[in-house]
A and B are shown apart, each in its own frame.
Chain A
Amino acid sequence: MQQPSTPRRRLRTGAGRRRIRPGVPLVAAAVAVLLGAGAVPAQAAPAASPAPSDAAPTTVGLAERPFMGWTSWSMQSSKYPGLNPDGDYSYLTEANVLKQADALATKLKPFGYEYVNIDAGWWRDNAWVPTFDEYARQTPDPVRFPRGMKAVANHIHGKGLKAGIYLPVGLEKEAYANGAAPIWNAAGCATADIVYPDLRTTNGWDSAYKLNFDNPCAQKYIDSQAQMFADWGYDFLKLDGVGPGSFKSGDNYNNVADVAAWQKAIATAGRPIHLELSWSLDINHAADWKRYSNGWRIDTDVECYCNTLVSWENSVDDRFADAPAWSRKAGPGGWNDLDSLNVGNGEMDGLTRAERQTYATLWAISKSPLYTGDDITRLDDYGLSLLTNREVIAIDQNGGAPARPVSVAGDQQVWGARNPDGSYTVALFNLGDAPASVTAHWAAFGFTGNASVRDVWNSRNLGTQKNAITAALPAHGSRLFTVRPGTPLATTSYEAESPANTLSGNASVAGCDACSGGQKVGNLYLGGTVRFNNVTVRKAGIYTVTLAYVSGDARSATVSSNSGNGTSVAFPSTGDWGTAETISVQLALNAGANTITVDSGTWYSPDIDKIDVPQTL
């Protein structure tokens, strides 16, 4: 979420939502942006900025699994009737927080939900005017939190839960006090010492002065905030407006040092505090976020700032495009945060049943933290069932890697991941506005034949399914299966760099450490193609052909066999230009020799490592 300073509502038209997509008219400026982003095919993008040599290790023990809980922001940010009676963002009060904590303890704690996270505004009144202590530290608004923050944390702890709090990154402008405010427990340090002389601003709203860590006083300021939270008993901090990210880039908005300082401060504060970063963090700094924090928001706010908490387009569905890039960035200690999970009350959420299930499905298979922003006192039966499905929660918490798309046929997508126990999580999604059937082919997961299937949401064993499973999905609907595979699939690999292939346009062979054979074919753009010749199968039929590829951003290509028109494949980002992933397509092959062509058409395609073709149908 964003701290609503000026304007309070973060506009959704910011640069962070702009990206080069297939179909954008080819103009010189767009090409310049693309190339400038380091996305030249067959060339690795610059690595993330080097980590400081004195970095401390990630806090041990926190975020071993994605955290679960509740956040105040969804209701704070909504215009849903009655939530914010004293003006926008007025929902956040001690009474409301404790009411939700009590409900969480009763209804959701048995399922693993434990964090009660206070979001933006705890130090601001209903006119959004902040209060700071004499040391330039945020101090609770007496109307919202008349007993202060410690009492709130105590109450939360009394329920067996954990307490979370919030800060924007940087020194808030209103805390500057003409540079004269002393820094707590830092003799000789004042606010003037912790910022740059030109008062350059930072964070997603430019609401703070950028901290200058060349001056040790800046670390002291962070230490003082961390100590305050530790003293109050907080277990979790969301640091917001962090860049690169939060729709900002450039030196002034690089808050890596701030995040590192927070990790350092927490380590010395005497209390473990989970550090979560927000929002739309720059994936090129994923190594930094992983090093210094316990989780990072990969995307913009899920909230719609409208008459409901969220809506499908604004912006639940954004995650389907944005999550894949991050799939290899998450793991124990730090997870990809898809934002709050507002599926508990259909009317307030502003979503259909199908959309709510889909929302929860994507979050679970992405190993996102599961924290609802709903009014837990008013969950409807369906919402409660979604939030408390133990099998779904277990998928989220199984410690495995986030799922990735394994086949993407327009709005009909199959995502999956291999689970630590050897089974597979298989999710079917229909992101279209009309019902559609979606089929998961076992071959796309590397197995074949009979596999036993469990319908997770419906808690039903569907028995043995041969080669594939198909389900009818409503608009924006989903199915979630756990599949125990039978026979491994025997495939034949065809390397893209093979001299037997035909390259056209600017396509060329390049080295690739992540690729089989150490090489790939890149520079597939503006008509460049790679044609695999002599792809041989014994029997004519429709095959699941798997393409291994490298693509630091989402790209597309038309993949065809023989004389076919092919299928336009949306290749999700592999996160960087040094990671190979796979995606599968259905293609007819004749008995004997075939060609398979990857054609960039009128735009940019990923670099192709190889294709795998099943040896049998």
Chain B
Amino acid sequence: MDFRNTPSRPSRRGFLALAAATGAATALGGLPTFAASAAPRRPTESPLLAADAAAKNQLWWQAPGSATSMIEQGLPVGNGRLGALASNDPGRELLMITDATLWTGGLNDTLESDGQFPYGRGDFGSLTLLATLAVDIPGHDLGAVDNYRRTLDLAQGLVTATYDIAGVTYQRQVFASRPDDAIVLHFSQQGRGTYTGVISLAGTHGESTTANSAGRYASFGASFANGLRYGAAVTAYSGTGKIAVTGTSISVTGCREFTVVVSGGTNYAPDATAGFRDPSVDPERLARSKVLAAARESARDLLHTHVADFRPVFEQFAVDLGTSSAAQRALDTWERAQARWRDNVPDPEFEAAYLQFGRYLLISGSRGSLPIGLQGPWLDGNDPDWMGDYHTDVNIQMTYWLADRGGLSDTFDAFADYCVAQLPAWTDVTQRLFNSPTNRFRNSSGRIAGWAVAFSTNPYGGSGWWWHPSGNAWLCQNLFEHYEYTQDRAYLAKVYPVLKGAVQFWETRLVTTTVTDASGATREVLVADRDWSAEHGPQDTRGNTYSQELVWNLFENYRTATRVLGRDTGYGETIDGLRQRLYLPEVSPTTGWLQEWMSPDNLGETTHRHLSPLIGLFPGDRIRPDGSTPKEIIAGVTALLTARGMNSFGWANAWRSLCWARLKDAEKAYQLVVTNLRPSTNGSNGTAMNLFDIYETNPGRGIFQIDANLGTPAAIVEMLVYSRPGRVELLPALPAAWAAAGSVSGVGVRGGFVADLSWRDGTVTEVRLTSVGGRSTTLTAGGASRRITLKPGESVTVRSL
């Protein structure tokens, strides 16, 4: 072992300093509202990557999208709050723009006759589109352009399209700037070309756009029935040609280059006591002031400001899974997806790019506003499936499994802040409604405390569809794990009330029952009250594995939190006493599987999408294939996972992959990643042209669900690094396809570390562990282990374990 303690490496962190210099601070608990902000500081030097350096993290295509194919072909940009899909059609650039807070609906606290929540776009609500922006350039019909190419630069957060017409090369860039809080489109050309066209901004709920010729902007504003105000504005400018307001549009005539700036938002506020509104915000007016402020800057400065903000975040993590062939590199992204499936030849660079695309989405969709729901801020209409909401029985949890693993801890804040902001409403609704006599899931004890949610939640404290009693524990699992990664006590203190409320809920919900062990001895145990094993099987069973595991995890984490924070420590011990009395699942003598219910029988669908009974394997880690868990439990878990099968869809495949990674079956874990990369055709399950994950709801109808785009990358990372407090294992499930040589850096490690490692021929050649708060852990690779002790900020590099 070559062992060397060093001070924290400055290089990667140096970029963080650059980011801070732009004024785009990433403080905890920032207000996720559309608000006035100080003028960004502009970088004095270009932060742009050189072309060859940028190419490593670029996806590219040889065709644009169109108005009817945005979900499959639109390229996503986002500043963490505003998201847009861009068509990049030369003759008609189209942006479908979503603000993460543009939700209909409300508290939704009138239960239906069965004690469950309404789930409609009026009552519960739905995420909706803010606006469409079109830039029509009639002379640039796609049928007449050559060498069309568009690129999604993941590292710099930049969409670029280029094409030739009659010897002139035209280029457009689209980016969503967080520092300038706007989406920018810059059109330029090389040659003697000019642009003539029309820029149109339109609402999607019947608003009227008005234009101001003196101000050279167009805008609209309106409000929903729920009182939410919203608005958007666009302006354009050029150093050549003519830009003028024509009717409600902006015309561009004979411009050698021009720039379009669009912004918008709502008066949503993450404050239950204020009814989730900030009455001081006039969104249309604010949008106007933002676009006009940005338009005082050159397009170059806007781009540099954006890249200086985006790139350092992206570069907190890097991955190299091996070298692809020249033939693969010659293919565009869609061709590569097709070839990967057709030929079954590993394409390590493409597979790494898919991981980075997930990180790109997280950066673009989860900074400074509401968290990413089922689609993030990337809609193509006002009726997203399942409202584009927050699903609490795997989807939102999976979405955030990537954050810490993928070097994007800060993107987790949107999720944590959401839970904290919703807590008062969740608590109020739970305590008023959960024990309604018509709610089949009510507490038999008749007592109620803390909070719970339904399967769906909105940003107004509202729940939708059925109560989901275990959902609170699962949300808390994510919240606590983020603490484990960061060791950030201030963060833990922030989310502590959320954890405690969930614990209190469960304290009133557990019931006692008597079980008989294999030996014939009986004992009294605590079990969860009547419930459903997340969308699967009977709806009135007690002690479901799903609930038992989640509550076990919640109680354990809670006790840790009380100790870390020095709060409620006595209560923490009480709760841990309950944890020790929890019934834990057994292996069925009938099926050989870990039981999903307190029954040896298979009460559900063998290949059901959910892996609820495996939640103690992943995302939990009570079940560990390291000798500490009885081997018959490991065998039962393996048998159940095997029975669930290898052929589901998006998030279900990602979860399976994560479980196989935990079981160190690298090839199965990899196969599921590959299955998710399968090109989607006619809505079939798999990956769309723009790499969005598509779930086939009905034959021929596929929808975008973002969770697999983030969960599959999480699985890739989990194949490379496993961690829990006190232990980090390198390359636990490295598939042959990536074994030759590779590296990954910036991987979050539970216990408060970041790992950078490289390998060759399947063996770790070097690892650097940096403490972000952690003090000691055991580093394991290839069967060898080493105890590591570091001070926060210190690094250690190990060359041969």
> A residues touching B (Cβ–Cβ < 8 Å)?
353-354, 357, 410, 433-437, 455, 457-458, 460, 462, 470-475, 477-479, 540-542, 560-567, 586-588, 617
Binary contact readout B39-81 vs A (1 if CB under 8 angstroms, 0 otherwise): 0000000000000000000000111111011001100000000
Q: A437-B63, A567-B342, A588-B343 are in contact. Are A542 and B142 (CB under 8 A)?
A: no
B344: chain A residues within 8 A (beta carbon): 562-565
Within 8 A of A (CB), among B145-167: 145-146, 148, 163, 166
Contact residue among B145, B166, B339, B681 (Cβ-Cβ distance under 8 Å from A472): B145
Q: In residues 312-328 of chain B, which contact A (Cβ within 8 Å)?
A: 325-327
Asked if B342 and A566 sit within 8 Å, CB to CB, the answer is: yes
A435 and B64: CB pair below 8 A? yes
B57 to chain A, nearest CB (A): 22
Chain B residue, CB-CB nearest to A587: B343
Assembled-state Cα–Cα distance A126/B606 (Å): 67
Question: Shortest Cβ distance from A457 into chain B, in angstroms?
Answer: 7
List chain B residues, Cβ under 8 A from A541. 325-327
Closest to B343 in A: A588
User: In the bound complex, do residue B146 and residue A455 qualify as a contact, i.e. CB atoms below 8 Å apart?
Assistant: yes
Residues of A within 8 A of B343 (CB): 542, 561-562, 564, 587-588
A471–B149 Cα distance when bound, in Å, is: 10
| Residues in A whose Cβ lies below 8 Å from that of B61 | 437
Those 5 A-B pairs whose CB atoms lie nearest each other, nearest first: A434-B69, A437-B62, A588-B343, A472-B148, A437-B63
* A–B Cβ pairs within 8 angstroms, 26 of them: A434-B68, A434-B73, A435-B63, A435-B69, A435-B73, A435-B89, A435-B142, A437-B61, A437-B332, A458-B143, A471-B148, A472-B142, A472-B145, A472-B148, A472-B163, A473-B143, A474-B89, A477-B143, A541-B325, A541-B326, A542-B343, A561-B343, A564-B341, A564-B343, A565-B341, A567-B338
Alpha-carbon separation in the docked complex, A435 to B68 (Å):
10
User: Which residues does chain B contribute within 8 Å of A353, judged by CB atoms?
Assistant: 141, 143
Cβ of B736 < 8 Å from any Cβ of A?
no
Q: Which of B260-317 contact A (CB under 8 A)?
A: none
Can you name the residue of chain A whose Cβ is closest to the Cβ of B334? Answer: A437
> Known: A542-B327, A588-B327. Is A560-B342 also a contact (CB below 8 A)?
yes
- For A565, list chain B residues within 8 Å (CB): 341-342, 344
Structural contact, A472 and B64, CB atoms closer than 8 A: yes
In the bound complex, how far is the Cα of B66 from the Cα of A437, in angstroms? 13
Shortest distance from the beta carbon of B71 to any chain A beta carbon, whole Å:
10
Q: Enumerate chain B residues within 8 angstroms of A587, measured Cβ to Cβ.
A: 342-343
Q: Distance (Å) between the CB of B308 and the closest chain A CB?
A: 32
- Contact residues in A for B141 (Cβ distance below 8 Å): 353
Q: How far is A357 from B143 in the complex, measured between Cα atoms in Å?
A: 9
Contacts of B166 in A (CB 8 A): 460
B146 engages A471 (CB within 8 Å): yes
- Which A residues are in CB contact (< 8 Å) with B643? none
List chain B residues, Cβ under 8 A from A542. 327, 331, 339, 343
In the bound complex, what is the Cα–Cα distance between A541 and B345 (angstroms)? 10
Please measure, in the bound complex, the distance between the C-alpha atom of A462 and the C-alpha atom of B147, giving whole angstroms.
Answer: 10
- Chain A residues within 8 Å of B144, by CB: 458
Kindly provide the distance from the CB of A501 to the nearest chain B CB, expressed in whole angstroms. Answer: 20
Please judge, given known A-B contacts A434-B69, A472-B64, whether A564 and B342 are in contact too, CB under 8 Å.
yes
User: How many angstroms between the C-alpha atoms of A562 and B325 in the bound complex?
Assistant: 17
How far, in angstroms, from A472 to B334 measured CA to CA in the complex? Answer: 13
In the assembled complex, which residues on chain A have CB atoms less than 8 Å from the CB atom of B89? 435, 474
Q: Do A472 and B342 touch (CB < 8 A)?
A: no
CB of B66 within 8 A of CB of A434, answer: yes
In the complex, which of the residues A433, A470, A479, A563 contacts B69, with contact meaning CB atoms closer than 8 Å?
A: A433
Q: Which residues of B contact A457 (CB under 8 A)?
A: 143
A474 touches B66 (CB 8 A): yes
Q: Are B327 and A473 in contact (CB under 8 A)?
A: no
- Assuming the contacts A433-B69, A434-B65, asked whether A477 and B142 have C-beta atoms less than 8 A apart, the reply is yes
Chain B residue numbers with a CB within 8 Å of A475 are 66, 68-69
Contact yes or no, B339 A473, CB < 8 A: no
Total count of chain B residues near the partner, CB < 8 A = 34
Smallest CB gap from B69: residue in A: A434
User: Smallest CB-CB separation from B341: which chain A residue?
Assistant: A565
> With A and B bound together, what is the CA distance between A608 and B189 in angstroms?
50
- Additional A-B contact list (16), CB under 8 Å, known A354-B143, A433-B69, A472-B63: A434-B68, A434-B72, A434-B73, A435-B64, A435-B66, A458-B143, A458-B144, A460-B146, A471-B148, A474-B89, A474-B143, A541-B326, A541-B327, A542-B339, A564-B344, A588-B345
Contacts of A472 in B (CB 8 A): 62-64, 142, 145, 148, 163
Interface contact A462-B342, CB-CB below 8 Å = no
Q: Is the CB of B65 within 8 A of A435?
A: yes
Alpha-carbon separation in the docked complex, A567 to B335 (Å): 12
Q: A410-B681, A457-B143 are in contact. Are A588 and B339 (CB under 8 A)?
A: yes
Residues of A within 8 A of B64 (CB): 435, 472
Least distance between B31 CB and chain A CB atoms (Å): 39
How many angstroms from the CA of A410 to the CA of B689 in the assembled complex? 14
- Using Cβ atoms and an 8 Å threshold, which residues of chain B touch A433? 68-69
CA A617 – CA B326 in complex, angstroms? 11
* Cα separation A436 to B66 with both chains bound (whole Å): 10
A570 to chain B, nearest CB (A): 13
Smallest Cβ distance from A458 to chain B, in angstroms?
A: 5
Expressed in whole angstroms, the minimum distance between the Cβ of A487 and any Cβ of chain B is: 20
B142 touches A473 (CB 8 A): yes
In the complex the two chains form, what is the Cα distance from A474 to B63 in whole Å?
8
Can you name the residue of chain A whose Cβ is closest to the Cβ of B142? A474
Q: How far is the CA of A353 from the CA of B138 in the complex (A)?
A: 12
Q: Which residue of B lies closest to A409 (CB)?
A: B338
Partner of B325, one of A435, A437, A540: A540
B585 to chain A, nearest CB (A): 36
Chain B: CB-nearest residue to A469: B146
CB neighbours of A564 from chain B (8 A): 341-345
A366, B558: Cα distance in complex, Å: 74
A528 → chain B, closest Cβ, in Å?
21
Find chain B residues with CB under 8 A from A563 CB. Answer: 344
> Nearest Cβ distance between residue A565 and chain B, in whole angstroms?
5
Please indicate the chain B residues that have their CB under 8 angstroms from the CB of A567 in the complex.
Answer: 338, 342
A455 to B332, CA, bound (A): 23
Out of A460, A470, A474, A562, name the residue touching B62 (CB < 8 Å): A470
Chain B residue at minimal CB-CB distance from A565: B341
Complex contacts, B145 vs chain A, CB 8 Å? 472
Residues 678 to 721 of chain B near chain A (Cβ within 8 Å): 681
Measured CB to CB, the nearest residue on chain B to A356 is: B143
Q: How close is A389's CB to chain B, nearest CB, in angstroms?
A: 13
Nearest CB in chain B to that of A435: its residue: B63
For A560, list chain B residues within 8 Å (CB): 342
Across the interface, which residues of B come within 8 angstroms of A586, CB to CB? 339, 342
- Could you tell me the distance between the alpha carbons of A306 and B73 in the complex, rounded to whole angstroms? 32
Shortest CB distance A357–B (Å): 6
A460 CA to B345 CA, complexed, in Å: 38
Tell me how far the C-beta of A545 lies from the nearest C-beta in chain B, rounded to whole angstroms: 12
Residue among B64, B145, B345 having the largest count of chain A Cβ atoms under 10 Å: B345
Q: Which residues from chain B contact A617 at a C-beta distance below 8 Å?
A: 327
B247 → chain A, closest Cβ, in Å? Answer: 23
Among A434, A474, A564, max chain B CB count under 10 A is at A434
Complex: A84 Cα to B636 Cα, angstroms = 76
**What separation, in Å, do the CA atoms of A175 and B344 have in the docked complex?**
68
Chain A residues within 8 Å of B345, by CB: 564, 588
Q: Please indicate the chain B residues that have their CB under 8 angstroms from the CB of A474 in the complex.
A: 66, 89, 142-143
**In the assembled complex, how far is the CB of residue B582 from the closest CB belonging to chain A, in whole angstroms?**
45
Within the complex, the shortest CB–CB distance from B671 to chain A, in Å, comes to: 12
A268 to chain B, nearest CB (A): 50
Query: Which residue on chain A has the smallest CB distance to residue B145?
Result: A472
Q: How far is the CA of A47 from the CA of B127 in the complex (A)?
A: 63
Least Cβ–Cβ distance between A102 and chain B, in angstroms? 31
| Chain A residues, CB < 8 A from B338 | 567
CA distance A481 to B68 in the complex (A): 28
A435 contact set on B, CB distance < 8 A: 63-66, 69, 73, 89, 142
A562–B681 CA distance with the chains assembled, in angstroms: 23
